[in-house]
Amino acid sequence: MKGIIVLFLTLAVLVIVPAVDLAFAAGDEPGEYVDRRVIIWNLFFRLMTVAFVVGAVVSGTIIWQVWRFRESHPKAKPTPYEGTDW
Protein backbone atom coordinates (compact mmCIF):
# COMPACT_ATOMS: atom_id res chain seq x y z
CA MET A 1 0.00 0.00 0.00
CA LYS A 2 2.84 2.35 0.84
CA GLY A 3 4.42 1.69 -2.57
CA ILE A 4 1.23 2.65 -4.40
CA ILE A 5 1.00 5.91 -2.47
CA VAL A 6 4.63 6.72 -3.30
CA LEU A 7 4.02 5.89 -6.96
CA PHE A 8 0.95 8.13 -7.22
CA LEU A 9 2.72 10.90 -5.30
CA THR A 10 5.67 10.72 -7.70
CA LEU A 11 3.40 10.81 -10.75
CA ALA A 12 1.47 13.74 -9.27
CA VAL A 13 4.69 15.68 -8.70
CA LEU A 14 5.80 14.96 -12.26
CA VAL A 15 2.56 16.49 -13.54
CA ILE A 16 2.07 19.33 -11.03
CA VAL A 17 5.58 20.81 -11.08
CA PRO A 18 5.62 21.49 -14.86
CA ALA A 19 2.06 22.83 -14.69
CA VAL A 20 3.01 25.30 -11.94
CA ASP A 21 6.15 26.21 -13.85
CA LEU A 22 4.01 26.96 -16.91
CA ALA A 23 1.57 29.04 -14.85
CA PHE A 24 4.38 31.25 -13.55
CA ALA A 25 6.44 31.17 -16.75
CA ALA A 26 5.72 34.72 -17.82
CA GLY A 27 8.83 36.82 -17.50
CA ASP A 28 9.11 39.98 -15.45
CA GLU A 29 10.26 42.01 -18.41
CA PRO A 30 7.80 43.07 -21.10
CA GLY A 31 8.41 41.36 -24.40
CA GLU A 32 9.31 37.98 -22.90
CA TYR A 33 6.97 35.38 -24.29
CA VAL A 34 6.44 31.76 -23.45
CA ASP A 35 6.86 29.32 -26.31
CA ARG A 36 4.07 26.93 -25.44
CA ARG A 37 4.99 24.42 -28.12
CA VAL A 38 8.32 23.82 -26.40
CA ILE A 39 6.73 23.54 -22.96
CA ILE A 40 4.02 21.18 -24.20
CA TRP A 41 6.59 19.01 -26.00
CA ASN A 42 8.75 18.94 -22.85
CA LEU A 43 5.79 17.84 -20.73
CA PHE A 44 4.80 15.21 -23.32
CA PHE A 45 8.37 13.90 -23.46
CA ARG A 46 8.64 13.63 -19.66
CA LEU A 47 5.31 11.85 -19.29
CA MET A 48 6.07 9.47 -22.15
CA THR A 49 9.41 8.66 -20.54
CA VAL A 50 7.62 7.90 -17.27
CA ALA A 51 5.03 5.80 -19.14
CA PHE A 52 7.72 3.74 -20.88
CA VAL A 53 9.61 3.17 -17.63
CA VAL A 54 6.45 2.10 -15.79
CA GLY A 55 5.50 -0.15 -18.72
CA ALA A 56 8.95 -1.74 -18.75
CA VAL A 57 8.79 -2.42 -15.01
CA VAL A 58 5.31 -3.94 -15.27
CA SER A 59 6.27 -6.05 -18.29
CA GLY A 60 9.44 -7.24 -16.57
CA THR A 61 7.48 -8.17 -13.46
CA ILE A 62 4.95 -10.15 -15.49
CA ILE A 63 7.71 -11.97 -17.39
CA TRP A 64 9.49 -12.79 -14.11
CA GLN A 65 6.24 -14.10 -12.57
CA VAL A 66 5.52 -16.30 -15.58
CA TRP A 67 9.10 -17.62 -15.64
CA ARG A 68 9.27 -18.22 -11.90
CA PHE A 69 5.96 -20.02 -11.52
CA ARG A 70 5.91 -22.06 -14.73
CA GLU A 71 4.95 -25.72 -14.56
CA SER A 72 8.32 -26.99 -15.74
CA HIS A 73 10.21 -25.18 -12.99
CA PRO A 74 12.29 -27.69 -11.01
CA LYS A 75 11.15 -26.35 -7.63
CA ALA A 76 7.51 -25.95 -8.60
CA LYS A 77 5.29 -28.12 -6.41
CA PRO A 78 1.52 -28.21 -6.52
CA THR A 79 -0.35 -26.95 -3.51
CA PRO A 80 -2.40 -29.38 -1.42
CA TYR A 81 -5.72 -28.09 -2.75
CA GLU A 82 -4.79 -28.86 -6.38
CA GLY A 83 -5.49 -32.56 -5.86
CA THR A 84 -2.32 -34.01 -7.38
CA ASP A 85 -0.39 -36.85 -5.82
CA TRP A 86 3.30 -36.05 -6.19
Rounded Cα distance between 77 and 19, Å, is 52
pTM of the predicted model, to two decimals? 0.52
| Predicted confidence (pLDDT) per residue in 39-60, tens digit | 889 889 989 999 999 999 999 9
**Do residues 53 and 29 make contact, with C-beta atoms less than 8 angstroms apart?**
no
pLDDT beyond 60 at 85: no
Rounded Cα distance between 74 and 62, Å, is 20
**CA angle at residue 16 from 12 to 17, to 5 degrees?**
120
